[in-house]
Amino acid sequence: MNDATVIDIHNVSKIYNPDTIPVHAVNNVHLHFERGEFTALVGPSGSGKTTLLNIIGGLDAPSEGQVIINGTDITSLKPNQLINFRLQNIGFVFQSYNLIPVLSARENVEFILLLQGVSKAQREQRVQDLMNAVGLGDKMEVRPAQLSGGQQQRVAVSRALASKPQFILADEPTANLDSRSAANLLDIMAQLNHDEGMTFIFSTHDARVIERARRVITLEDGRVVSDKAVGVPTKGGRV
Amino acid sequence: MILQLAWRNLWRNRNRSIIAMASVWCAVVLAIVMSSFQKGVFDLLIDNMVSFYSGYVQVHRTGYQSEQTLENSFELSDSLQNTILSTPGVASMTPRLEAFALASSGEKTKGCLVAGIAPETENMATRIKSKVVSGEYLSDSSSTVLVSEGLAKRLQLGVSDTLLLLGQGYYGTTAAGKFPIGGLLHYGSPELNDQLVFLPLAVAQRWLDAPGLATTLVITPGDPASSGETTARLRNTLSTEFEVLTWQEMMPEINEHIETDTASSAIILGVLYLLISFGIFATILMMLAERQREFGMLIALGMKKAQLALMVLFESVFITLTGCALGILASLPIVWQLTNHPIRIGGEMAKVYEKFGFEAIFPASMAPSIFWKQAVVVLVIGLFLSLYPMMKVLFLKPVEAMRS
């Protein structure tokens, strides 16, 4: 592990139904991710992409192995410590956006900052900057139901970035988007990766995402079957 | 933030929240009107039976309550009166010399309760002057008597007629006297209205051959609600020669009636609240089922489970308190109307009430406790019902919740 390493995954396995009919959703995976990566986890349905993403995000505990993020073994954290760790270090973008329907776009982004206890003035500035960065500066007060799918996902990206996380985990972020919205979203994420060195890890089936990724990890039956660098290094990180 | 989120969540499914609030509203209105009637009727009953005659607290010679004879009277000394009046909580005091007698006129005779009173202080204690419907109230120098209307009617007597009283005086002497009627009194309670005769204390002492004696000291506490504390102080202050009784001890049957009625009302209210609890609980269960995924997502984003549980708690409390506040608002004009224009019962039903010693009216009460108690009960229900969703949230696994 070097200074650029953000995530280290050691011998991680996830076994469902260990006492009846064991299912190895993730099987003895070793991976490490460095700052500034733009990585796609690919593979057929049931290959373990989402489970691995959930384990990296601390949403699910591995049956075996360790996940070390910035030197912290998150598998040893207590539930409340883990929640706090996620809040401070990890941004999430979900397939179905998962915005809070009763809050406006601005409030959805601000929500994370409120959980972090950021002051009002800093919150306002940060939300404004983030919404401008995803091209939704004029939709701040609109509720999610009044936004298109692409716009909602851009708000979700803003929300994921709000806490200034170490990396962003995006689970099929373009799956519910039309091609134009998907391209637009990928442009924004690639821009953030290029300009700010933000680390992105996607789970995806989408060829458009795979095309833009600079590292593609293929999973099958919970195992890593290939791990390829496919592009040029970004400004702040590596391939 | 959590409060704001909870409030907005309430209006996500507007119809469901409104239905839940409406059920609380309905129960609160019913409970308040019912409690208000109950308190109004009890207050009237206590007012009739207690403040119109017995007073809230009485002092007797020990044993008088169980054997009400002149042999259990006591010397009405200045030191005794000063001791009582200087006891904290005592506002005023009036002496009585009471005896049972036969009231007679012509060939008609009826048993009655004769009370020798100090006209001025008696009026302060029991507002007796306001009961005079014809003739004049007594003074210390009067030689006339006041007769309750029901008794006068039975004896076919009116003001200026003569009433013959025949009883037993101190140590078994015969007490007989003819007294001109100076005035008639009307009492709402038929029990009082049919049997009371008042005369000045000095006249009664002469008639009963009991100079300087009294059977009862009626104590008026500064605050009727704290008459229990005043009674306790008097018991500590006075020697064991005297007994100090509250109205509940003097008239246990009224107290028992109130307690029984209160208990049966509590059961009805309990059923009412149980019904709305099911309504609110169903709403909470539906909300939980619908929002599993969202709860999982909030935890994934970094919201602590305790914060999430607090949000769920606020949502339940908002539903119950909003319904409760609207219920209190809606019940205010109803209760105000019923307080100022009490329902009067007529016909046979009125006779039944009067037979049992009640005035045949149903007044309501605007006592603030009726309203805030409902708010507290509903709040407790809301808090109690929130326990289940709070526990569910505390044990929620975000990945499983997000898969749902």
Gyration radius of chain B's alpha carbons: 30
Helix-strand-coil percent breakdown of chain B, rounded to 5? Answer: 60, 20, 20
A216: phi then psi, degrees, rounded to nearest 5:
-125, 120
Q: Where are the beta strands (DSSP E) in chain A?
A: 5-16, 23-34, 38-42, 64-69, 72-73, 90-93, 167-171, 199-203, 215-220, 223-229
To the nearest 10 degrees (0 to 180), the angle between helices A105-116 and A149-162 is: 20
- Closest CA of chain B from A60, distance in Å: 6
Interface contacts A/B by beta carbons within 8 Å: 54
Residue B129, Cβ density class (10 Å: 0-12 exposed, 13-18 middle, ≥19 buried): middle
Query: Cβ distance A217 to A227 under 8 Å?
Result: yes
**Interface membership of A63 toward B (CB under 8 Å):** no
- Which of A16, A59, A164 is the best mutation test for B, with the most CBs of B within 10 A? A59
- Closest CA of chain A from B9, distance in Å: 6
Residues 6+ apart with CB under 8 A from A54: A60, B399
Q: Strand, helix or coil at B1?
A: coil
Q: Measured between alpha carbons, how far is B144 from B159 in angstroms, rounded to an integer? A: 10
Q: Nearest Cβ partner of B1 from A79, A114, A159? A: A114
Kind and range of the H or E run holding B352:
helix B347-355
Query: Cβ distance B52 to B192 under 8 Å?
Result: yes
DSSP B273-340: HHHHHHHHHHHHHHHHHHTHHHHHHHHHHT--HHHHHHHHHHHHHHHHHHHHHHHHHHHHHHHHHHHH
This complex has an ipTM of: 0.84
Beta bridge partners of B59: B217, B244
pLDDT at site A3: 66
Q: Nearest Cβ partner of B300 from A86, A102, A163? A: A86
pLDDT at site A236: 43
Query: Cβ distance B394 to B309 under 8 Å?
Result: yes
**Interface membership of A60 toward B (CB under 8 Å):** yes
| Contacts with B11 from chain A: Cβ below 8 Å | 102
Q: Measured between alpha carbons, how far is A78 from A185 in angstroms, rounded to an integer? A: 35
Q: Nearest Cβ partner of A83 from B9, B299, B402? A: B299
**Interface membership of B294 toward A (CB under 8 Å):** yes
The mean pLDDT of chain A is: 89
> What is this structure's pTM?
0.69
Residue of B nearest to A81 (CA): B304
Q: Which of B27, B44, B39, B40 is nearest to B331 (CA)?
A: B27
Structure tokens at A40: 């796609």
**Interface membership of B136 toward A (CB under 8 Å):** no
Convert the pLDDT of each residue in A91-128 to its tens digit: 999 888 889 988 999 999 999 999 999 999 999 999 99
Average pLDDT over residues A128-154: 91
pLDDT at site B309: 92
Fold classified for A37-47+78-229: Rossmann fold (3.40.50)
**Interface membership of B300 toward A (CB under 8 Å):** yes
Query: Cβ distance A58 to A74 under 8 Å?
Result: yes
Residue of A nearest to B307 (CA): A115
A220: phi then psi, degrees, rounded to nearest 5:
-145, 130
Convert the pLDDT of each residue in B216-272 to its tens digit: 999 998 887 788 899 999 999 998 999 999 988 888 888 888 888 888 888 988 888
DSSP B259-270: HHHHHHHHHHHH
Q: Nearest Cβ partner of A98 from B12, B297, B303? A: B297
Q: Please answer yes or no on whether B399 and A60 come within 8 Å at the CB atom.
A: yes
Q: Please answer yes or no on whether A102 and B398 come within 8 Å at the CB atom.
A: no
pLDDT at site B191: 80
The residue extents of the domains of chain A are 37-47+78-229
Convert the pLDDT of each residue in B112-132 to its tens digit: 999 999 999 999 888 889 889
The mean pLDDT of chain B is: 89
Beta bridge partners of A33: A7
Q: Is the sign of the CA dihedral B230, B232, B234, B236 positive or negative?
A: negative
CA angle in degrees (0–180, nearest 5) for A76-A77-A83: 145
pLDDT at site A152: 92
CA distances from B354 to B43, B260, B357 (A): 17, 20, 5
Query: Cβ distance A149 to A184 under 8 Å?
Result: no
- First and final CA of chain B: distance in angstroms? 26
Helix-strand-coil percent breakdown of chain A, rounded to 5? Answer: 35, 25, 35
